[in-house]
Chain A
Amino acid sequence: MSNLGALLTSNQSDLDNAIVIGTAERLNGRDLLSLGCKLPKRFQGSNVALKISDPLTFIKALFALDGQVHSVTILSPDLSAEATAVVMNKADADVLIASLDELQGDEQFEPVRSSDTKWRLTTSGTTGEPKSVVHTFGNLVRSVKPPRAGTHSPIWGLLYDPSRLAGLQVVLQAIGGGGSLILSEAHDDIARRVELLVRQGCTHLSATPSMWRKILMTPLSDELNLQQVTLGGEIADDRILSALCKRYPSARVTHIYASTELGVGFAVQDGKAGFPASYLTSMLNGLAMKIMEGILWIKPSNHVNRPSAAHIRVDDEGYICTEDRVQIEDDRILFLGREATLVNVGGVKLQLEVLESKLRNHPMVSDCAFSSIANPILGSVLKLEVVPAHPVEDEKTYKREIKSWCRENLQIEAVPAKIELIKEMALAVSGKMQRVSKCVR
Chain B
Amino acid sequence: MINLRDRIKLVFNELWAEDHDVDPPELQDDTVLLETGMDSMGFAVFVTMLDDELGYDPFAADSEAVYPRTFGEFVAFYGKHAPDE
Contacts and interface: CB of A to CB of B under 8 A. Distances in A.
Interface of A: 345-346, 373-378, 381, 400, 403-404, 407, 412-413, 415, 417-418, 440-441
B48 A375 contact: yes
A413 B39 CA distance: 11
The A interface, classified by DSSP as helix, strand, loop or mixed, is: mixed
Q: Which of B19, B44, B47, B52 has the most CB of A within 10 A?
A: B44
Given A404-B18, A407-B19, A418-B52, A381 B44 contact: yes
Contacts of A346: 40-41, 44
Contacts of A375: 44, 47-48
Interface in B1-51: 18-19, 40-41, 43-45, 47-49, 51
Interface of B: 18-19, 40-41, 43-45, 47-49, 51-52, 57, 59-60
A407 B45 CA distance: 13
Contact of B47 (A376, A403, A412, A413): A376
A283 to B, nearest CB: 46
Given A376-B57, A400-B18, A440-B57, A412 B48 contact: no
Contact of A415 (B43, B45, B47, B60): B45
Contacts of B60: 374, 376, 440-441
Given A375-B47, A376-B47, A440-B51, A413 B41 contact: yes
B52 A377 contact: no
Contact of A376 (B19, B52, B59): B59
A417 B40 contact: no
Contacts of A413: 41
Contacts of B41: 345-346, 378, 412-413, 415
Contacts of B51: 440
18 contacts: A346-B41, A346-B44, A374-B60, A375-B47, A377-B43, A377-B44, A378-B40, A378-B41, A381-B44, A403-B18, A404-B18, A413-B41, A417-B45, A417-B49, A418-B49, A418-B52, A440-B48, A441-B60
B44 to A, nearest CB: 4
B15 to A, nearest CB: 10
A313 to B, nearest CB: 33
Nearest to B19: A407
